[in-house]
Structure 1
Amino acid sequence: MSNISLIIEERPRNIGNFMVGRLLPFKDKRMVGPFIFIDHMGPAQMKPGQNMDIPPHPHIGLSTLTYLFEGNIVHKDSLGTEVEIKPGQVNWMTAGKGIAHSERTPAYLRQAEKSLHGLQIWVALPKHLEEIEPTFHHSDTADLPTWDQDGIAYTLIAGSIMGKTSPVPVYSPLYFLQLKNTSRQTVKIGAELYGEAGLYILDGSIESEGEIFQPKELLVAKNNQLCEFTMNENTTIYFFGGEPFPEERFIYWNFVASDYQRIEQAKQQWLDQKFAPVPGETDFVPLPGESDHLKHRT
């Protein structure tokens, strides 16, 4: 991609009993458009009895987006939702003023060999919508806009771009777009991008101005309009971004807000177990100590 302003490589993080590659936030780039958090999960091969188990934990001020390449996760939340997400589907949970949820391996797979691979993403809410009622939306693979253009297969996972709109109910101008190819192709997409743009390489490689960029790299553009590059054969990439917010954002643990006092309130709410419970769940993730976890401004 021409005029790259920043290259972010995945950094390993432990999220309980599971390792991920952290992409955002990054010390030199806290957000790309409204996207404030991106984890690359796996690919992980899990033996019988080895499972993903993330007990109930809270969120405020954001929407979560889960998109799987392999594996299955059961999502349960304090709205009473219970949904199994499979590869190619989208889970979109909007926390708003507060929600709790758990993520676990389905019961029928817990004693089987299995794989898990996907993306966990947080999108910050506009300031005037940070305290909306929580909601949950699930989109099947067939619901997402797909099309072929110049030898590339496109899937629009969320947002609007290239004259298409995903059914995922986003709250600000954004896009999360998958591109896949089988043969070497040149991509000229700059005129379609708006706001800030990032490009994540999942498989294969891309070339720009004589340089080759590999998987597990996130590239941030200086100027979207100059975005032109070559996808080598059998490459999968993701464009994401959109209009940035005028206000700064704070992030602490699972909380995002434009006012840090709101995060302090949410911390106390979780300590006092004042978030609505997740039906059928008895345990929960405790609030991390101040010295143990992420606390910064964006």
Structure 2
Amino acid sequence: MSNVQLIIEERAADIGNFMVGRLLPFRQKRMVGPFIFIDHMGPAYLKDYQNLDVPPHPHIGLSTLTYLFEGAIMHRDSLGSEMEIQPGAVNWMTAGSGVVHSERTPAYLRTTDKILHGLQIWVALPKELENTTPSFSHIEATELPNWLINTTAVKLIAGQAFGKQSPVPVHSKLYFIELKSTHRQKIEIGKDLYGESALYILEGQVTIEGTTFDAKQILVAKQATLCAFEIHENTTIYIFGGEPFPEERFIFWNFVSSSKETLEEAKHKWEAQEFPKIPGETEYVPLPKPKL
């Protein structure tokens, strides 16, 4: 019997002036461990007059993890952080009680042809930390643990697994792992995983107990400790998950909380423009209207 409990196909979603592939949340699986939201950005081939421009918008109750494969994004936030995200590095912003940030094409790329490709991930915070003080961390690609399983390159982007720990300052027990293969081989890593687990195929294929799965799919495991598969040549996958929270999480727009009342408070606060401001930026994304 296969260890695959659920297959989630990538679905198109519009985030303003940019189309993405939405992976989580999914109606049959709202979260995997503490992971509550995953967008696959691109690959988008932008002309010299096309740029990513996501104006200031708020978050509460979560941490954002931005991880690029190609291109660059300029991150600015209400803490005063200003950081260009490059491929392989990790931007980790903990919203907690409330933070505002913008994401744009850097100035030096705005008049040239460019590519943007990566993942935008939200990780829910434990209930006792949902109202924590906001913070921002940037971890360079060279700081992330990496090693080989036979000929497959493994990188621990966030969390802890395989007896290793990423320097990304996460707030609960989780893992986000990259595997890149050049040759087809069997991978058995169940003993190194815990909690809930899922596998996202970015490119290439994996085979599990005779069934082959293609790119742009998330395979949710029935049991993390049984995680075993055959990774095909020239394949890149991401394995993520961790310990789930005992309480349900609710989402409205960019807000995550275990309390619906907290979400309502955040809505009113943003409409009244009472969130902190990003130095030097005056634009903002209006609160979306409820769907009829």
Shorter-chain TM-score range: over 0.9
CA-CA distance at 1:208 after TM superposition? 1.2
| Superposition TM-score, scaled by structure 1 size | 0.97
Answering whether residue 149 of structure 2 is matched by residue 146 of structure 1, we say no
For 1:220, the equivalent position in structure 2 comes to: 220
State the Cα distance separating 1:2 from its structure 2 match: 3.7
* 1:15 counterpart = 2:44: no
Partner of 2:211: 211
Could you report, residue by residue, the CA deviation over 1:115-168 in whole angstroms, capped at 9, with x for unpaired residues?
A: 000000000000000000000000000010011122211111000000110000
Matches of 1:290 and 1:28, distance apart in 2: 22
Q: CA deviation at 1:181?
A: 0.9
Partners of 2:252 and 2:268 lie apart in 1 by: 13
Question: Aligned partners of 1:224, 1:138: CA distance in 2, in Å?
Answer: 29
| Letter aligned with residue 157 of structure 1 | I
Unaligned runs of 5+ in 2: none
Task: Tell me the secondary structure at the aligned position of residue 147 of structure 1.
Answer: strand
Aligned partner letter, 2:192: E
d(CA) in 2 for partners of 1:5 and 1:115? 34
In structure 2, the residue matched to 1:61 is: 61
Amino acid at match of 1:104: R
TM-score, structure 2 length as denominator?
0.99
How far did 1:225 drift?
2.0
Q: How many pairs are equivalent?
A: 292
Q: Summarize deviations over 1:83-119 as a string: whole Å, max 9, x none.
A: 0000000000000000000000000000000000000
Please list, as runs of the form range in 1=range in 2, the aligned pairs for 1:114-193 lying within 5 A after superposition. 114-193=114-193
- Separation in 1, partners of 2:178, 2:53: 28
1-structure distance, mates of 2:177, 2:55? 30
Aligned to 2:241: 241
Q: 5 Å matches for 1:249-264? A: 249-264=249-264
**1:109 & 1:237 partners in 2: Cα distance?**
29
Indicate conservation of the 8 Å contact 1:17/1:52, yes or no: yes
Q: Is the 8 Å Cα contact of residues 75 and 85 (structure 1) preserved in structure 2?
A: yes
Give the AA of the match of 1:73: I
Amino acid at match of 2:42: G
Q: Is the 8 A contact 1:2 1:228 kept in 2?
A: no
C-alpha deviation, 1:223, in angstroms: 1.4
Which runs of 4 or more aligned residues in structure 1 lie more than 6 Å from their structure 2 counterparts after TM superposition? none
Aligned-residue Cα RMSD (Å) equals: 0.9
Partner residue, 2:274: 274
